[in-house]
Amino acid sequence: MSSLAQSQLRETFELNIGPQHPATHGVLRIKVVMDGEYIVRAEPILGYIHRMHEKMGENRTWNQFWPNMGRLDYLSAIAYNHCYACLVERAMGIEVPERAEYIRVITAELNRIQSHLLGFGAYIMDLGGFTPLMYAMDEREQILDLLESVTGSRLTYCYFRFGGVYNDIDDDFITGTRAFIKRFRPQIPMYHKLVTGNVILMDRLNGVGPISADLCRKYGATGPVLRGSGVNFDVRRNEPYGVYPELDFDIPVYHECDSMARYMVRMDEMVQSCRIIENALNKLPEGPVMAEKVPKALKPPKGDFHFAVEAARGTFSMRTVSDGTNTSYRMRLRSPTYSNVSLFEEASRGMLLSDALAFLGSLDPVIPEMDR
Amino acid sequence: MPAEQPQEAAAPVEVQAEGEGEGKPKPKAKKEEDAPPRKNGLIETEYAKRGAHLDVQINPDQVVSAAEFLDGEGMTLEMVTGVDWIKENQFEVIYDYSYTGGQLLRVVVRARVDRNKPDIATVCHIFGGANWHERETWELLGINFVGHPQLEHFLLPEDADFFPLRKDFKP
């Protein structure tokens, strides 16, 4: 903490960032007590778009809850679909055909690239560089078109079903995806040349917002935040689901613990996602995409069930308590940025306001997912 | 750290919990619906079916020592869940711990409190991340986390005087 921020003699004042502020990526409000340019205390205030998805989970049947899964994190909705599908399949003991598992992974990874692209573009825009957003949007639009052709929606996907996926992918999708990856691969070194090596960006990110691995552990931070703090943890590797164990990919880990490390993890993850998609497309088996004989009215056995997936922002997990009826007794959604942003208050103490916004952007919050 | 280590070490907490419930007579369970509230102790769990390696129910006054112990083992508190068991007149608080330092280990710690006096000690001085989770659980279910620094409205409006996740909540 700076000596200025520690000083008791100086007067402090309160500053509201948000709820409508471009740097908060949605309706997040941060109540900041400032000492000059330095933060004394920054308290995130949530709930502006709280929709009580957990209560909806108790009122709707298992199938009726599907559309909610697209409306938590609207940037990586497929991962949320994946979690819910696997959770209920675990409870019911439904076997998923292999082709469907591959399609799930391909779409989930496309979605992850799309999410990181927007995260990258919007983050650089927060820091004052407008052009990279245009590049990112260009690439992202192609993924959205690909996913729209197979899922039917642009962002709020409701594509998975218990026992498979709702729609098989066709040759157009496969050739389109391959063409996209071919085009996208050389773009990333170009981004690094254009953005990462920029002196202004390096000055604004290097050493800003240090989060130790232990702080991540205490707050339950996951995803790129955790991997940017030198912890090699990824649900896809450490608690594998779907066909991830059969695919080749690396987990990018950076040990610098600063905003630049988190930014770099996301950039590298896009490369790894390309690898996963190519690998999965090469191995894609023929066959059905839906399990046979999945009952229409699901009644999972009594008890607790838990499932976790690696969404674009970290571990998304669901815990459901079933009482053996056609609705859930309790549906708990654990969203990754909820935990990631909860460390903001502790980590931002004594930081410069402009650094704090760069730090907040590096956590890549998505508000509907925090508020649920 | 090998995956077995915390499991073995967690055993004392569980044994302690079992010892407390030993003196009470065993009520007969007639039908499944009339089954009495679950007793403290180790709950049988199978990872492939349930998603947890170790599932243990303890006394509400043991959650802090359990959290301290699991913190010492290097585990993360992933989420805190409250469940309203209205028929049994109890609230259940479920703590999901996971180990992210190596091979994954998921430990579920749960405790039941009286629904009329839902007090349970906070663990947010041990895990900072519990702060928001407990605050949310208080807000949605009305479980009072004793010692929590800021039990104020969070997701709901400031003037909300209801607990929407309680089973007797009428909108």
* Interchain CB contact of A129 with B (< 8 Å): no
pLDDT at residue B36 in the model: 59
Q: Quick check: B22 pLDDT over 50?
A: no
**Separation of alpha carbons A165 and A168, rounded Å:** 7
Question: Which chain A positions have a beta carbon within 8 Å of B157's beta carbon?
Answer: 47
If phi over 0 gives left and psi between -120 and 50 gives alpha, with beta otherwise, what is residue A4?
A: alpha
Amino acid A313 reads R
Is A56 touching B (CB cutoff 8 A)?
no
Average pLDDT, consecutive stretches of 10 residues, N- to C-terminus, chain A (372 residues): 58 83 77 88 88 88 88 88 90 88 91 91 86 89 90 87 87 91 90 87 86 88 89 87 88 89 91 91 88 82 88 90 87 90 88 88 86 84
pLDDT in tens, B45-92: 777 778 788 888 888 888 888 888 888 888 888 889 899 888 888 888
Express each pLDDT in B103-127 by its tens digit.
788 888 888 888 888 888 898 888 8
Structural domain of residue B90, as residue ranges?
Answer: 4-19+39-146
Contact of B156 with chain A, judged by CB distance below 8 Å, is answered with: yes
Instruction: Report the CATH number of the A53-336 domain.
Output: 1.10.645.10
What span, in angstroms and rounded, lies between the C-alpha atoms of A231 and A308?
A: 18
The pLDDT assigned to A2 comes to 56
Task: Using the Cα atoms of residue B159, residue B164, residue B169 and residue B170 in order, give the sign of their dihedral.
Answer: positive
B64 is a domain residue:
yes
Say how far apart CA A76 and CA A69 lie, in whole Å.
10
Q: Residue B148's pLDDT is what?
A: 86
Do residues A169 and A103 lie in contact, with contact meaning Cβ atoms separated by under 8 Å? yes
**Which residues of chain A are within 8 Å of residue B81 when distances are taken between CB atoms?**
319, 330, 332
Q: For the range A118-122, what are the long-range contacts, defined as Cβ-Cβ under 8 Å and sequence gap of 24 or more?
A: A118/A75, A119/A75, A119/A266, A119/A312, A119/A364, A120/A191, A120/A263, A120/A266, A120/A267, A122/A25, A122/A361
Measured CA to CA in angstroms, residue B108 lies from B36, B103, B132 at distances of 21, 16, 19
- Between the alpha carbon of residue B92 and those of residues A27, A105, B153, the distances in Å are 32, 35, 21
Domain count, chain B: 1
Using the Cβ of A343 and the Cβ atoms of chain B, whether some distance falls under 8 Å is answered with yes
- Report d(CA B78, CA B94) in Å as an integer: 11
Domain-located, residue B105: yes
Q: Are residues B104 and A342, on separate chains, in Cβ contact within 8 Å?
A: no
* CA A333 centroid distance within chain: 14
* Residues A284 and A99: beta-carbon distance below 8 Å: yes
CATH number of the domain bearing residue B15: 3.30.460.80
Residue with tokens 């199978």: B46
Could you give the dihedral angle defined by the CA atoms of residues A167, A91, A313 and A172, in that order, rounded to the nearest 10 degrees? -10
Residue B72, domain member (yes or no): yes
Say whether pLDDT at B31 is over 50.
Answer: no
